[in-house]
Structure 1
């Protein structure tokens, strides 16, 4: 028996999901790694920020000259020249800012494009266990809201940090060069501004986590109740008011959290505004004192005026940097949510040295297979049976016994925890995934069609199929006549999940799709269980044509299918309890006999046509 280590746990616990991310150097570098492909553009943004910051100093400095030289000296020509120079510097600064803003927006949209592609590729390659354990609302939130929020981070938070830091640095240099004494007076209030920021940051972090959780809940409600199937269920059980109440509750809680977050920052903004006004008053007092007392001969009214303007220019970036510090926490939380998905491991992936063997036979062997969706709770236990090349095996058993799980192990929708599934003597885990899944064709009772045309849904199996191939596949599936009688023929729209078609028509599309795929192994998962007897009989004939010259595994609920099987495998509580032909199992008086008495006997009269 081939034994491999048990697969990893497939579902995160609530405790794991609620762990707060730590702001580490590795996390910051990981965030910045998304800028690497656009580093040249970002260097341009950085240069533009530096240039606009330096040029932006000149209007303030020129104002001092206007006061000291043009106004005091009553020099009109100099006043005009200085005003024109100030205007030119303002225009130049705004032009550079506009260019920087455009390039920055371009970078952020490109990063969103990259991340969405990366996320979609990562998620679509995840095993089925991921989609069983994850709410669809969470997936949509990650793909849209979270990644979409990256734009604000790149063009807002990240650029603000760089821009405001450079403005602060250049302004400090300029103000100290003008008059270091007044500069010290102006910056004395800066340390006081920092005090409230830490508490506000912790509060907003907590509120953000709650907000994201409520947002996920709302997305889940919307996704479940406003889908076609969900809205139908709501109506049939008259739960409209109940669902409205649930949505209103979630919406109200989300609104309250948003208001709390707004209140948490309001005091912070009031304090920042107050301290920003104190600085200039202190400068006027200190400058006036030194000017009146003639403490500093180099000090002029123009210098005082320029210093006040520059200090005002200094406070706003400092306030923004402190706000950015608070927003940075939110940004890290956003990236952490995205990375949490990226870091979900896929336990079903291509082997390091994938095989594409030339199979002489397509026999399928289950060798002591054990599998569990959750750690410690086996769904399938020590299953062993063989499906000979070109034969048909019927799998029967009570609902929930593990029949669908068994067949899902063949194309590696899940990987076995112990034992092996082999095709033609080769372990499926050693095969190339694409090659393996091309070997297997599925027809299930829950036929899924994309919201497009019949042609588009058929071409999903074979993109380069000709019209003749489409028609031949549809004739085998007894679908061609139905299609040509439609006004749009093969371009007939099927609707969301194929709901414009009947159950039998959807099944025929599914069968035709498998015919186009032309697999060597055919798996039927109760493919006709939801149909009426007339539709089932018609589709059964189509299936018989498709099953010829293939290895077939059928989860059976119809006696006719069971009687036609070369071997019957009986599953109960995840274990193989019986196997053999119909007469042998019936004589054994075991579980199969019970199933026969409760499920099959009522259709015994239909068996003669299949014996």
Structure 2
């Protein structure tokens, strides 16, 4: 993101055009049981689908009537056997044609309404299902996946299959029924002309499959490129990204990085647009040529019949009706080919969507998981029993982040973990609320293995304040209510007073209705941190985890926030992950962590008396 990475990424993309071209031509990922999985998306809307199918069948059946009536218009109304137009018959037949078109149009409007509703509801369900599934994924998934890529799956990929979800069912049923009915009508009119009209259909079907395969490959690469563009946008145009680019004068490099991916996207879009044009041009030529060929063959059959003295069964009305029905056949066939192409193209998009839906969260509730105990003598207690932890993406030869760590924290105690960066103290704070699971050993809350507790219930009892608090682009009150949506204004203000931020908020022109800006950038670091503390206090957890909560603040703000934290610790168990030892000198117990192990433990005075690692850290800071 921003400065250093901007130029490198831009250079790599520009130099890799040949490699990217090979990727574009690679096969799209396979989609297991695609048809079944798409059909399952429509399962909740079976009744609406039944109505759509009924409307489609009626409309398709009505669509065949006008050509058949047209034959009677010519043979019975305009050119009857006696040679004089029969106006009453002609009027009735024309009226019938108009009535059929009116009914078909009305049914089409209703069908479009039902189709649009069902299709968009299915697409909305898919988007929410994907979002909900991503919410269930473990923290590690998000630390190794770009936010922009995740956003692209939700927006671009689901949006890319919108046409398939909203139109496929009605179009497939309607066009299939129309094709079958038209083929039957054509056979009834003239089996000889039917053979002429359908002779090239197998060739077109084979060509369509080849085109679809090419478009599917390009569609997959198009979505990958869109994901990369979303990631670049999210990184470079966030407040932090813009600030980094400006401070390192990398705006031009960031623009080139985006422009490079944009050039790739343009190339892919052009290729996707052009990939089927030759095929559809050939289809269009065929559609235009078939009526003329029908006229030619009809003339040949009539001339041959007259020469041999038999009735060919082909009249002017037959020819007009046949060409009309033939157009009713070929256009639905072309539509079905387009649908087949869309489905083949969408394979890559469905693959990307189902790839995420098929991900199994690494951390889930065990069968029969229960709520943690709230008994006064147990609630808030923490125990690590020979806990070893290795991050999932760590190398096989890398040492574990934590190595057989054991300790216990009684309810209401204030303990601190200190040590150098990379020692493993922050990992301890992540294992307590089960953001990760221990590789071996047991982490217990209130005497129970956290893997046997419901995650949601466990998190309800734990509050976390991080070094860099996250605030939404919303008002202060809305950010606070995130912890407790039903909180009253009095409860919000009480939490703010405990966090030593109420007077500051009251001094703002809009008070609690002040909009904090993206990630809270309109507030100072100390103000953001105290609002985060107030948010945790509004939650009122049994256990408070403070992860470097003051390390990014200056001395004055650190003291202000520290007073707020002192108030927040009252009446609850507190685990502090600290870099600045001055913030934990009054802890009931301090653990010194190094190389994934607990090196020392004791009070501040006891550890200074040992003259070991803690005394050395303290001497360096003082």
* TM-score normalized with structure 1 length: 0.91
The Cα of 1:574 is off from its aligned counterpart by: 2.7
Matches within 5 A, 1:18-57: 20-24=28-32, 26-57=33-64
2 CA distance for matches of 1:264 and 1:465? 57
The Cα of 1:550 is off from its aligned counterpart by: 2.1
Q: 3-state DSSP class of the match of 1:323?
A: helix
The Cα of 1:297 is off from its aligned counterpart by: 4.2
* Aligned match of 2:9: none
Residues 1:280 and 2:291 are matched in the alignment: yes
Residue from 389, 404, 426 that aligns with 1:371: 389
2 CA distance for matches of 1:523 and 1:187? 74
* Aligned match of 1:117: 128
2 CA distance for matches of 1:396 and 1:342? 40
Q: 3-state DSSP class of the match of 1:386?
A: strand
Q: 3-state DSSP class of the match of 1:195?
A: helix
1 CA distance for matches of 2:582 and 2:45? 64
RMSD: 2.0
Length, aligned pairs only: 582
The Cα of 1:554 is off from its aligned counterpart by: 0.8
Q: 3-state DSSP class of the match of 1:203?
A: helix
The Cα of 1:576 is off from its aligned counterpart by: 2.7
Residue from 328, 341, 346 that aligns with 1:326: 341
2 CA distance for matches of 1:436 and 1:176? 71
CA displacement, residues 228-271 of structure 1 (integer Å, 9 cap, x when unaligned): 22122221211111111111111111110111122221111111
* Aligned match of 1:536: 558
2 CA distance for matches of 1:46 and 1:287? 37
Q: 3-state DSSP class of the match of 2:571?
A: coil
Report runs of 4+ in structure 1 exceeding 6 Å deviation: none
Greater displacement, 407-416 / 454-463: 454-463
* Aligned match of 1:435: 457
C-alpha distance 318-577 of structure 1, shift in aligned 2 (>3 A): same
Matches within 5 A, 1:54-65: 54-65=61-72
2 CA distance for matches of 1:63 and 1:464? 69
1 CA distance for matches of 2:556 and 2:582? 14
* Aligned match of 1:222: 233
The Cα of 1:146 is off from its aligned counterpart by: 2.0
CA displacement, residues 560-599 of structure 1 (integer Å, 9 cap, x when unaligned): 223222222222233333333345544555543443343x
Q: Structure 1, unaligned stretches of length 5 or more?
A: 1-17, 602-611
Does the Cα contact within 8 Å between 1:526 and 1:554 map onto a contact in 2? yes
Matches within 5 A, 1:17-416: 20-24=28-32, 26-72=33-79, 73-75=83-85, 76-294=87-305, 295-356=310-371, 357-359=373-375, 360-361=377-378, 362-374=380-392, 376=396, 377=398, 378-416=400-438
The Cα of 1:366 is off from its aligned counterpart by: 0.9
Does the Cα contact within 8 Å between 2:520 and 2:528 map onto a contact in 1? yes
2 CA distance for matches of 1:74 and 1:237? 90
Does the Cα contact within 8 Å between 1:394 and 1:561 map onto a contact in 2? no
* Aligned match of 1:518: 540
Does the Cα contact within 8 Å between 1:473 and 1:516 map onto a contact in 2? yes
* Aligned match of 1:509: 531
1 CA distance for matches of 2:92 and 2:368? 75
Does the Cα contact within 8 Å between 2:483 and 2:535 map onto a contact in 1? yes
* Aligned match of 1:14: none
The Cα of 1:492 is off from its aligned counterpart by: 1.9
Greater displacement, 147-156 / 340-349: 147-156
Does the Cα contact within 8 Å between 2:27 and 2:217 map onto a contact in 1? no
* Aligned match of 2:6: none
Residue from 480, 485, 499 that aligns with 2:502: 480
1 CA distance for matches of 2:595 and 2:280? 63
* Aligned match of 1:552: 574
1 CA distance for matches of 2:463 and 2:362? 22
2 CA distance for matches of 1:274 and 1:329? 24
Does the Cα contact within 8 Å between 1:390 and 1:550 map onto a contact in 2? yes
CA displacement, residues 319-345 of structure 1 (integer Å, 9 cap, x when unaligned): 222222221112232222211111111
Q: 3-state DSSP class of the match of 2:437?
A: coil
The Cα of 1:19 is off from its aligned counterpart by: 9.0
Does the Cα contact within 8 Å between 2:120 and 2:165 map onto a contact in 1? no
The Cα of 1:116 is off from its aligned counterpart by: 2.4
* Aligned match of 1:3: none
2 CA distance for matches of 1:32 and 1:584? 68
CA displacement, residues 390-415 of structure 1 (integer Å, 9 cap, x when unaligned): 22221112212222221011111111
* TM-score normalized with structure 2 length: 0.89
Q: Structure 2, unaligned stretches of length 5 or more?
A: 1-25
Q: 3-state DSSP class of the match of 1:577?
A: strand
The Cα of 1:172 is off from its aligned counterpart by: 0.4
2 CA distance for matches of 1:327 and 1:100? 21
